[in-house]
Structures are given as structure tokens and as C-alpha cells.
Structure 1
């Protein structure tokens, strides 16, 4: 059927064209002109209709946006220019974009930190408690003044057969030392990975614990120790040590001089490098000593005094010559016991490599080079004032000092008394600290080569708020890290130049 219809249309179209061809020329021209006029009229009418329809649609859209989305009635007054600035022309008909400046409700996300809990403010009656508050403040100020006077005069003495020490009880609720917020800033769900849970607990204790009593402990010819006690509970593992030396009945910390701030930096550097040989240390202010200046507080470890304070620290007695001989023999390497006449100490061979790397970065010379034989000392340095620098003529007989280990663990060293120097230039570094060292720990060297040492140290030191602020904030900490990074470059060059092996030291 469709085919017949097509043939029918073709037949009529051919008849029409043949009749049109037989018409005169004038008549054909008139027909063509008429068709063109009709077509032109049709086109113009269609364009006008479409334009009118578009205008009506635009008006409807405007009205719908005004009534539906923005809720502006045509009878209401238009908002002023300030209100109009908060609206942005939507890119889609069903979306409204409003630009508002929101307040920051939480601090910047610093890696290795946890957001502190919000504390509710306690509402107090200003009028009923004002008299009590004034009386309480006056009492606390008088108590604090009395504490300071008693401590200065050192009139309260207590003695034992092992050690002489002076005891001073501190007012528990002293307003000058009470802290509502922790000085250890951890704003994420966990501390940086180089800190163990024990490290975090000890740091919080040293920074925030209430001081119950202060003891000025003197033992033998060694400098006295200023110990504060913060808790009375003692763990079962430390009860024997506590009864033996009787210096600390609970958890304690050793208060150092404000000039020994490198103890805190050394602790963080030790943990970042993965050595784990220093005692936890933080910076803290005490109102009753050192005029309230920030001073380093190091964790008290009774295992360093296995025979009591009178016997002193568990120290290794070695001369420089014996130390160099033990490095050549690789004492206790692969857990092989040395011969009795070898002259080896109880310290494992790898411990000296860790000590040398650590001391070189901080330029601590009071262990391996107490006579300052490896660099040019200043006149005010202790080795010059005490005359030790003259002993460099016979270096093999110079005694090593401050080589400490725990009583129950003679194979591993404990880095104490970490007095480093940041003001020593690269042309005056003590390379004697690296003499005889043929291997270095792979874990520590990998951190030095990774170019992430600055990032990790900033992340680590930020936790100690008192130390961070006492060093001038980020700018002051950056200057200290600049010194360490320059020494790292020198050390890496030294490793390549002398062919030092970098090996795993899991001992």
C-alpha cells in the first residue's frame, strides 16, 4: 500500500511540473514570486512568535525565583546593597549559593596531636565567694613565700646511712603551680609513632604532676640532685630500688638548671632517630626555684643506682685507649662472649656507634672527649678552666666519663647529662667523637637521609608547650634545627668519605 501511494504522488508531481513547464514565462515568474512572498511572511511571523514566547518565559522564571527561592515578596522593599552581597547568582535554577564566613571552631590540624576536650566553665557566685577568695589568695601567697624562704635557707634536714638530703613539703593546692590544662599538647588520637605509651605517660607526669615535696640530694663527690616527688604510689618493679636508695618514695623527676635546655631537645632527637637511649625530659616552670624560669625536668630512674645513691651511678670505667681497643675487637658482637683478658667492657659493640652519632649531632663532648681534644675550645669551656685540655698530649690515658648503664642491663647505654652545643660552627666540629667508628645504625641514618628530619622534630617538639615557647616558638625552634641539619650534611659526607657501613642494629 505504501508503494502505491508513493507512485501516486510521483505521478501527480510529474503532471504538475509538465503543466508548469508549458505555461508562458510571465505566468511562471508570477507564480514563483507569489510563493517566495508567502514563504517570507511565514518565516517573519514564526520569529516574532518565538521571541515573544521567550520573553514571557523569562518573566515567569524571574517571578518564580523571587517568590519561591529567595522568599522576596513584590510588595516588600528591596534589600540594601550589604544584604545583596551575600547572594550569588545561581548557576542552576534549583540551587542557591550563599557566601558566609564561618568561624573556626577547632585549631589547625597538626599531625601527631589530639583535639583537647572542651571544658565547661563553672558558674560561681561573685558576691558570696569574693571574701573567701581574697582570704584564700592571701593565705596561698604567704605559704608560697614561706616555702621559698625555707628552701633558700635549707633549714629542714633529713639523713640516712646512704645519702644526705634536705626535704621540703610543698602546699598541695598552691595556686602558683596548679595547672588546669596539660602542657603536653597532643591534638590527634595518638602521639607521634616514635613515642611509646610509656614516654607519653612520663612526659605528662613531669609536665603536669602536682609537686608534693622537694629533695636536695647529695651523694659522694657528685653534684647534688634536686628531685621533686609528684605521686606516692610505686610500681612493683621499682619497690626494691626505692627501698634500697630511699631517695624517692613515688614517681619523681630531677630538676636541672635552666641553662641545660638541650636535655629536652636531646630527648626528642633521640626518639626521632629511633635510638631510645635517653630518659624522658620536658621543660617546666616552678615558682619556688630558679625565679620561675623554664628548666628541664628529667625522669628519675632508680635502676641507674643499683647499689644506692652513695655508690653512685652504674658507670663504665674506660680510658680512651681501652675504648679504641674494644671497638676493634667488636665486643659482644653476635652475642659472643669476649675472652677474660680482652679488656672488653660490658657494653655491646653497637652501643658505641649509637652514642657517637648522637653526640656528634649535638656536639656533646663530656663523654668521649672530656678534655676537648677534637676541637678548639673557648676559654670559658670547663675543659679549659679545669685544666683538662692539657691532657691531650697523652690521649690514650684520658678517662671516659658519663658512660652509664642500668644495673640490670649492662649491655645497653643510657644517655644522661646531654649537654649539647648549638653555637659550634661547621669548621670547628669535634670529629674525635667518630674516631674508630666503622658502622652506624641504619634506622637513624635513614631518617637523616630522608629530608624529613625537620618535619619530625617540629612535630615532636611542638608537644612540649613550655619548651616551645621558651625557645621563641617556631622561629627559635627552626634555628636550632638549622644547626642540626648542617651537621647532618657534614656527617653524611663523612660517612661516604670514610666508607662507614650503615647496618641494622637491633640489639
Structure 2
């Protein structure tokens, strides 16, 4: 007999000789062994292999993907179905009234995406929607509020200077007539009770730029200035009009008289710092020490020399410069005795300066800057220096200057304004380099 037949005969003889419990155990054991060897070859439906219910999306590894052998195939995709968010009562925006919707739409179109006070992009054409502006005013504010560096009083004064009706002209002097706006003279103690503006010549348009630079740097030492066309003055060309207020405009009683030598000695005394009154024998004036730091920074950026360097001792003057024509540059041999000019405080605040003559120069070459303006200065205002270092000076100047439409257009629009800011930015870099080399510190000046 063959091996297979012998094995079969022996297994039947041995199985019959075993008791019932042993035969039951052997049958169960045989079934288990059979299942262990046959189960891997059986194809189960995909839902059993994955252990998931049908309709649940999942991703199988490549080695586990089965070749479908049945008609009821479950397809698995990587792209999930986008569900609509539930409407939650607390998140539903209320419907806007027609007027509120229109204002919101104007606000969104006017801002340039750089903050809540950002102005309309100067490169885009006007939308023609000016809110709450006087009909003749060239001051344009398209957002809900003006830039934060301009106060409400600044904006009100700008609007009046740019668009208020001229009642009469007071011939204060031949070069700078005074405009009396809207209100007639009603009081002998003051020249005018309503808004007044001092008109400069068209070549002094830097007065407008100086006002905005002063506010952007948070110095707040100049008077508001706008550009305006007046048919009866300067052939209707755009001319700067600077606010004139009797309580703030300097006169002989508020003028600060200092020589260069006295000024340098007062800087060493640090007059009025920490509200400490200077000694009677000191060289201190009524001006707070930090005021000189603000003036020096402001005058250097605009290269205004007629305050701290009226004799042009810190640079090479040109033949057309006033100091050269008058021969003042010859006084530099005795520098300590040179009298400073155009320095005054407000009548009601003798510790702070008011800057009223801001004739700067944008055409001064970088190799001929007046560093004499920074001589003796050991601190600069921290908030101004921080802005110069941040690289946001251009952004803020563009937003601020754009408010004055007449000035903006008279300078050639955005390209012309950018050229002016280019000059200021280069001087700011020179100033910061100079301050670093000479140990000038940035100090919080909240006296």
C-alpha cells in the first residue's frame, strides 16, 4: 500500500479507539488548523479588510490597495467635500442702511490697506466723493478720520486756510500780506478774531512740506500751512498760507535773543531738564533744553540755516543765498558773537519754541550739508528717531501731503513729491550715521 493509504488506515483505527472527549477535541483542533491555512487565500469585501464602514472616507497605503474582483467597488478619494458653515446668529452681520452702506463702501475704496488712517492711493484717480469738505476747499480726506499725527484743530485750520472766503487783506508788509478770513475785525485788541493766514511767496512752498514733516515727526512746533491759489496775489500761482494766531505768533516780546556762544553754553547747562530751575548766573534762557534737540533735527532734514546758522558758517553758501548777498558769511571769523535769528516762543508758553520761518532747501548737495546745526546736540527725540529708523517716513509723508490737493498738484503729483521725499530720506540716513558716530542718544522727550 502507498504511504497515503497507510496513513489513512492508521488514523481511522486510532480515531475509533479514542474516547468521545478526545475525538471531540481532535475534530475541533483539525478545524482550527484548517482555517489557519485557508483564511489568507479568501478575498473579503473591502469594508472588512479596512475595518471601516462603507461611506467613511479614508486613504489606504499603496501596498494594501486590492484589485477589485466584484461589482460593488468602493472608490476612495483624496478630495474632501467642502461643507457650508452653519449660520450662527452671533456671527451674522446686520443689514446696513443705504447711507451707512455707502459710507462704508467709500471708506474701503479710499484706504490703501496700511492701517485705519491710511489715505487713498495717490496714484489712483479721484473718485469724486469728498465728505464734509467745504465746496472750495482743496483739503481732501477720504477716510473717516485724518492721519493720527494731525489734530482736529490742525484739520479745521487747514480747511479754513484752503477754502474760507477772504474778507479783506491786511498789508502787514509787502512780502507777506495777512488774509483775514470769514470774520470782520470786531476787536481792537486782536487784529482778527476768526481764522487768519499769512501769505508767503510761491517760492516758499517748502513751508507746506515743513508743516507736514513737523507733524509726522511728532514735533508739533510749526503752525498749519496749506497751498492756495489767490487770483489777486502772485498772479494766481499756488502760494503757501500759514496760520496766523495772535496768541501763538511771535512778536518782539517773545523773541529769544542768543548769540552762538551763549547757545552752546546753554546746551551744556541742560536748562530746565527735570523741571529744575537754572541758576541766575547760568547762560540759560526760558527755552527748555529738549527744544533745541527738536529744532536741530528738524532744521537738518530741511537744511534750514536761518535760525541756528544765519551767517552760513556751516556750509559753502552760493551767490544767490541771502547770507552771501548781505555779506553775513564774513562774520564767521567771530563765531561766538553771531546773533541767532528767527527763534521765538509762544506768548503763553515761554519754554517751548514756535517755528514760523521754515525756508528749507531741497537742492543742497550731500557733500555740502550744514552740520553746524547739530553742534552741541547730545540727544534727539526718540519718537522721531524711531520713525526715521523704521523706514515708514515716506509712507506717512505721502499720506499727509496728499491731503493738500493744491500743493500735491503744484509739485507734479506723486513723482514730484517722491523726489522731495528722496532728499529727506537721504539726509535722515546721514543724520542717523552722524548721531551714531558722535554718541548722540535717542531720548524720550516728554517734558
- TM-score normalised to the size of structure 1? 0.63
Structure 1 distance, partners of 2:111, 2:152, is 22
What pairs up with 1:32-181 in 2 under 5 angstroms? 108-110=110-112, 111-113=117-119, 117=129, 180-181=135-136
Query: Is 1:276 aligned to 2:220, yes or no?
Result: yes
Structure 1 distance, partners of 2:138, 2:247, is 27
Aligned 8 A contact 1:422 1:480 in 2 = yes
Structure 1 distance, partners of 2:221, 2:269, is 23
Determine helix, strand or coil for the equivalent of 2:204: coil
What pairs up with 1:435-450 in 2 under 5 angstroms? 435-450=375-390
Aligned 8 A contact 1:215 1:228 in 2 = yes
Aligned to 1:255: 199
- 1:357-380 Cα offsets, whole Å, 9 max, x none, are 000000000000000000011011
Q: Per-residue deviation at 1:118?
A: 7.4
Determine helix, strand or coil for the equivalent of 1:212: strand
Query: Is 1:417 aligned to 2:361, yes or no?
Result: no
Q: Per-residue deviation at 1:117?
A: 5.0
Aligned 8 A contact 2:130 2:142 in 1 = no
Instruction: Report the CA distance shift for 1:277/1:425 in structure 2 as closer, same or farther (over 3 A).
Output: same
2:280 aligned residue (331, 340, 358): 340
Q: Per-residue deviation at 1:314?
A: 1.6
Q: Which range is displaced more, 414-423 or 337-346?
A: 337-346
Q: How many residues align?
A: 338
1:193 aligned residue (148, 152, 172): 148
Query: Is 1:210 aligned to 2:154, yes or no?
Result: no
Instruction: Report the CA distance shift for 1:313/1:209 in structure 2 as closer, same or farther (over 3 A).
Output: farther
Aligned 8 A contact 1:376 1:428 in 2 = yes
Q: Per-residue deviation at 1:343?
A: 2.0
Aligned to 1:462: 402
Structure 2 distance, partners of 1:200, 1:478, is 23
Query: Is 1:328 aligned to 2:268, yes or no?
Result: yes
Q: Per-residue deviation at 1:116?
A: 6.7
Aligned 8 A contact 1:216 1:224 in 2 = no
Aligned to 2:124: none
Query: Is 1:408 aligned to 2:354, yes or no?
Result: no
1:184 aligned residue (139, 149, 152): 139
Aligned to 2:291: 351
- 1:48-107 Cα offsets, whole Å, 9 max, x none, are xxxxxxxxxxxxxxxxxxxxxxxxxxxxxxxxxxxxxxxxxxxx9xxxxxxxxxxxx965
Query: Is 1:228 aligned to 2:189, yes or no?
Result: no
Q: Per-residue deviation at 1:315?
A: 0.8
1:290 aligned residue (212, 225, 234): 234
Structure 2 distance, partners of 1:334, 1:346, is 14
Structure 2 distance, partners of 1:206, 1:401, is 27
Q: Per-residue deviation at 1:478?
A: 0.2
Structure 1 distance, partners of 2:343, 2:135, is 39
- TM-score normalised to the size of structure 2? 0.71
Aligned 8 A contact 1:403 1:413 in 2 = yes
Aligned to 2:101: none
Determine helix, strand or coil for the equivalent of 1:217: coil
Aligned 8 A contact 2:380 2:441 in 1 = yes
Determine helix, strand or coil for the equivalent of 1:229: strand
Q: Per-residue deviation at 1:305?
A: 5.5
Aligned to 2:331: 391
Structure 1 distance, partners of 2:400, 2:422, is 16
Instruction: Report the CA distance shift for 1:343/1:467 in structure 2 as closer, same or farther (over 3 A).
Output: same
Unaligned runs of 5+ in 2: 1-70, 72-81, 83-104, 121-126
Q: Per-residue deviation at 1:225?
A: 3.6
Determine helix, strand or coil for the equivalent of 1:488: helix
Q: Per-residue deviation at 1:416?
A: 1.0
- 1:424-478 Cα offsets, whole Å, 9 max, x none, are 1111000000000000000000000000000000011000000000000000000
Aligned 8 A contact 1:113 1:189 in 2 = no
Aligned to 1:44: none
Q: Per-residue deviation at 1:248?
A: 2.1
Instruction: Report the CA distance shift for 1:233/1:195 in structure 2 as closer, same or farther (over 3 A).
Output: farther
Instruction: Report the CA distance shift for 1:305/1:472 in structure 2 as closer, same or farther (over 3 A).
Output: closer
Aligned 8 A contact 1:304 1:313 in 2 = no
